[in-house]
Amino acid sequence: MRIALYQMDCRWEDAAFNRAEAERWIASRRADLFVLPEMFTTGFTMSPDRAAEPCEGETASWLCRMARKTGSAVAGSVAVRCDGEGTDFRNRFFFARPDGDMRFYDKRHLFRMGGEGVHYRPGDERVVVEYRGWRILLQVCYDLRFPVWSRNRNDYDLILYTANWPASRARAWRTLLAARAIENQCYVAGVNRVGEDALASYSGDSVVFDFKGEPIASAEPCEVQSVAAELDREALCAFREKFPAFLDADRFEFVR
């Protein structure tokens, strides 16, 4: 499977502009799966009462259109309003498939230091999407710091992390992405934005790691750029069979 990540500079709370930029990028590339950053239509806004869209709003519809048009899956996170009164806001990671199926994951770990938990409600369900023979775990930004939540239960092959991860913590970003790949014996793709907003500066550092924690594709820091990588499921399965560390993993139950 060929995956493409867009390390974009998101214009603050300008959904139409950001969708148009993403659409131009998608039209210029070929991939089985396109992945966009966290809150790619607005930036990491803490004003969802102003900027959030309905769950089945314009961006959700746009993602479905792009998937049908390209024959590829398109994924990215969006600030959404899940009720008519505007009290249930979510940071929702959509995954649109070309067959019209739409899946989503609501970010579980809300970024306390940025006040995200004050404005949004957390999700409570891990979501694994099946697509073209791959099992894909959806995760958002701060989720990366909580390995129990992403622990591989032999139920996925690839983790997608979509993020607005500040440049000041870029080393943690790359280190933790590699760690998730190694400990879960899976591919990991992390797409992060570049540019600045009222909260932080972002250096991108978008990257794809293989199941040994080796980087196989990465973007230049601080540049709007595309990252593309070929993922080999046969190689992944062969490595797991040869080195089945997951068979010795401690058992646990996640308590909500």
pLDDT in tens, 183-192: 999 999 999 9
Residue-wise pLDDT tens digits, 125-180? 999 999 999 999 999 999 999 999 999 999 999 999 999 999 999 999 999 999 99
Q: Where are the domains of the chain?
A: 2-248
pTM given for the model? 0.96
Tokens of 195: 């540019």
Q: Which is the CATH superfamily of the domain at 2-248?
A: Carbon-nitrogen hydrolase (3.60.110.10)
- Mean pLDDT for 81-101 is 91
Percent of the chain with pLDDT over 70: 98
Q: Which residues are catalytic?
A: 38, 107, 141
Cα gap 196→105, rounded to integer Å = 26
